[in-house]
A and B are shown apart, each in its own frame.
Chain A
Amino acid sequence: MPKSTQPGQEADVLAALYTRSGAAAYSVSADQFAAILEEVARKCTHESAPSPDDPADKKASFCATLRLEELALARACAAGNELAWQDFISRYRQKLHSMALHITRDAAHAAELADSLFADLYGINARDGVRSSKLVSYTGRGSLEGWLRTVMAQEFINRYRKQKRTVSLEEQTEEGVQFAAVPGPACTSDPRLEAATDEALAELSSEDRFTLASYYLDRRTLAEIARTLGLHESSVSRRLDRLSTALRKRILAGLRMRGMSHAQAAEALETDVRDLQLNLRSRLMQDSDPKSFPGKKVSAQDAGDGSTD
Chain B
Amino acid sequence: MTEAPKIVYDRLQAARPQRDLPHPDADLLTAFAEQALSATERSSVLNHLALCGDCRQVIALALSPENIAPVTTQVDIEPVAATVPAKSKLLNWPTLAWPGLRWAALAAGIALAASILLLHPGRLNQQTPVANRQVAPPAPALTAAPPQSASSIPPSPLDRSSLEQPAHEPSATLAKSQLARLQAGRPTQPPASRSQQSDMLLADNRMGSSVEEKTQAAPAPPSPNLDAGKSAPQAANETVEVSGATALVETESSNLISLAQHNAPAIEKAKQAPPETEASEQPTSRTAYDLDTLKLQGRNVVSAAKLARSPNQTASSDVTWMVAAGVLQRSRDNGQTWQNVLRADHALLCYASRNADIWTGGRAGTLYHSSDNGLTWVQVRPTVKAGALSSDIIHIDIQDHERAPSEIVISTGNSEVWNSIDGGKAWDKK
Binding site for B on A (CB under 8 A): 19-22, 24-25, 46-48, 65, 67-70, 83, 86-87, 89-95, 97, 99, 102-103, 107, 111, 137-139, 141-143, 145-147, 149-154, 156-157, 189, 193-194, 197-198, 201, 203-210, 212-214, 216-218, 220-221, 223-224, 226-228, 230-251, 269-270, 272, 274-275
Say whether B34 contacts A150, CB under 8 Å: no
| Count of interface residues, chain B, beta-carbon cutoff 8 Å | 93
Contacts of A243 in B (CB 8 A): 4, 83
Which of B63, B204, B413, B414 lies at the interface centre, i.e. has the most chain A CB atoms within 10 A of its CB?
Answer: B63
Residue in A70, A213, A241, A270 whose beta carbon sits within 8 Å of that of B12 in the complex:
A213
Contacts of A95 in B (CB 8 A): 204
Say whether A86 contacts B54, CB under 8 Å: no
7 CB-based A-B contacts, threshold 8 Å: A67-B253, A91-B204, A91-B302, A92-B204, A93-B394, A189-B10, A269-B5
**Closest Cβ of chain A: how far from B393's Cβ, in Å?**
12
Contacts of B325 in A (CB 8 A): 83, 86
Say whether B30 contacts A19, CB under 8 Å: no
Say whether A213 contacts B50, CB under 8 Å: yes
Say whether B64 contacts A204, CB under 8 Å: no
- Is B33 on the interface with A (CB-CB < 8 A)? yes
Say whether B60 contacts A247, CB under 8 Å: no
Say whether A142 contacts B27, CB under 8 Å: yes
Say whether A86 contacts B326, CB under 8 Å: yes
Say whether A146 contacts B3, CB under 8 Å: no
**Closest Cβ of chain B: how far from A130's Cβ, in Å?**
21
Say whether A149 contacts B64, CB under 8 Å: yes
Residue in A147, A228, A241, A249 whose beta carbon sits within 8 Å of that of B88 in the complex:
A249
User: Which residue of B is nearest A253, CB measured?
Assistant: B85
- Is B67 on the interface with A (CB-CB < 8 A)? yes
- Is B337 on the interface with A (CB-CB < 8 A)? no
**Closest Cβ of chain B: how far from A22's Cβ, in Å?**
6
User: Which residue of B is nearest A219, CB measured?
Assistant: B60
Instruction: Summarize A's interface: helix, strand, loop or mixed.
Output: helix
Say whether B5 contacts A274, CB under 8 Å: no
Given A194-B10, A236-B76: 6 more A-B contacts, CB < 8 Å:
A87-B302, A137-B25, A201-B8, A207-B50, A210-B56, A232-B70
Contacts of B113 in A (CB 8 A): none
Contacts of B57 in A (CB 8 A): 153, 157, 218
Contacts of A272 in B (CB 8 A): 6-7
Binding site for A on B (CB under 8 A): 1-13, 15, 25-38, 40-41, 43-44, 46-47, 49-51, 53-54, 56-65, 67-77, 79-80, 82-85, 88, 92, 95, 202-204, 253-254, 257, 292, 295-296, 298, 300-302, 325-326, 347, 349, 392, 394-395, 411, 413-415
Say whether B61 contacts A141, CB under 8 Å: no
Take A205-B82, A209-B50 as given contacts and tell me if A139 and B74 are in contact as well, using a CB distance cutoff of 8 Å: no
User: Which residue of A is nearest B415, CB measured?
Assistant: A97
Say whether B43 contacts A206, CB under 8 Å: yes
When chains A and B are docked, how far (Å) is the Cα of A206 from the Cα of B77?
18
Say whether B4 contacts A228, CB under 8 Å: no
Residue in A137, A153, A213, A227 whose beta carbon sits within 8 Å of that of B61 in the complex:
A153
Say whether B33 contacts A142, CB under 8 Å: yes
Take A86-B326, A157-B54, A210-B50 as given contacts and tell me if A194 and B7 are in contact as well, using a CB distance cutoff of 8 Å: yes
When chains A and B are docked, how far (Å) is the Cα of A90 from the Cα of B348?
11
Residue in A83, A218, A230, A269 whose beta carbon sits within 8 Å of that of B53 in the complex:
A218
When chains A and B are docked, how far (Å) is the Cα of A174 from the Cα of B83?
47
User: Which residue of A is nearest B35, CB measured?
Assistant: A230
Say whether B9 contacts A194, CB under 8 Å: no
When chains A and B are docked, how far (Å) is the Cα of A69 from the Cα of B304?
15
Contacts of A245 in B (CB 8 A): 2, 88
Contacts of B50 in A (CB 8 A): 206-207, 209-210, 213
Say whether B46 contacts A206, CB under 8 Å: yes
Residue in B37, B38, B88, B204 whose beta carbon sits within 8 Å of that of A94 in the complex:
B204
Take A19-B296, A90-B302, A157-B54 as given contacts and tell me if A233 and B70 are in contact as well, using a CB distance cutoff of 8 Å: yes
Residue in B79, B254, B326, B411 whose beta carbon sits within 8 Å of that of A69 in the complex:
B254
Which of B5, B72, B411 lies at the interface centre, i.e. has the most chain A CB atoms within 10 A of its CB?
Answer: B5
Contacts of B302 in A (CB 8 A): 86-87, 90-91
Say whether B49 contacts A210, CB under 8 Å: yes
When chains A and B are docked, how far (Å) is the Cα of A69 from the Cα of B291?
14
Contacts of A248 in B (CB 8 A): 2, 4-5
When chains A and B are docked, how far (Å) is the Cα of A70 from the Cα of B8?
43
Lowest 10 CB-CB distances: which A-B pairs, in order?
A: A142-B30, A235-B76, A153-B61, A209-B50, A206-B46, A244-B2, A142-B31, A141-B31, A91-B204, A149-B62
